[in-house]
Structure 1
Amino acid sequence: MDMWNYRVLKGKQNGSDCYEIHEVYYDEDGKPRAWAESHNVLIDDGLDELKETYDYIQNAFKMPVLEEVDGKLVELK
């Protein structure tokens, strides 16, 4: 079973830094290996589910920001 959570990813948009929330997937060693490209993470089947998703997203701000470097996700210091 894949382990995933929400993380903040740093990227570029129109030449400027930007930050987005993405679903990030981990390998067997717990290292980030991939992310979902979807940009609409705040959508769900019901209000309670949406609140739960919002709570999960808040945890993304408690972890280091990720950035793609040479095709791999790395934690920014």
Structure 2
Amino acid sequence: MGHWNYRVIKKLSSSGEYEYGIHEVYYDKDGNVEAWSENSLVPACPSKEDLLQDLERMKGALEKEVLVDEEGE
């Protein structure tokens, strides 16, 4: 895998409603989406400063195109 970042993913839930979550998305060496984390994330970090940095990266995901999980739950 080439790199990863946080992205918003729109996913059909088991209740039949769409929900949005922040996921880790992994890319191949050419920058194509290769995989993403199954569940949306809740940040947990060793320090308040690290948590702030992680939240800023997650906030950046809101500025990118939303990915859609066609398979849902």
TM-score (norm 2): 0.84
Name structure 2 gaps, 5 residues minimum: none
Counterpart of 1:24 in 2: which secondary structure?
A: strand
In structure 2, C-alpha distance between the alignment counterparts of 1:24 and 1:40, rounded to whole Å:
11
CA contact (8 A) 1:22 1:41 kept: no
Task: Choose between structure 1 and 2 for higher RCO, CA contacts under 8 A separated by at least 6 residues.
Answer: 2
Percent identity between the aligned chains?
37
Query: Higher strand share goes to which structure?
Result: 1
CA contact (8 A) 2:6 2:61 kept: yes
TM-score (norm 1): 0.80
1:66 and 2:67 matched: yes
Query: CA-atom RMSD, angstroms?
Result: 1.6
Name structure 1 gaps, 5 residues minimum: 71-77
State the 1:68 CA deviation: 2.6
Comparing 30-39 with 20-29, greater Cα deviation is found at 30-39
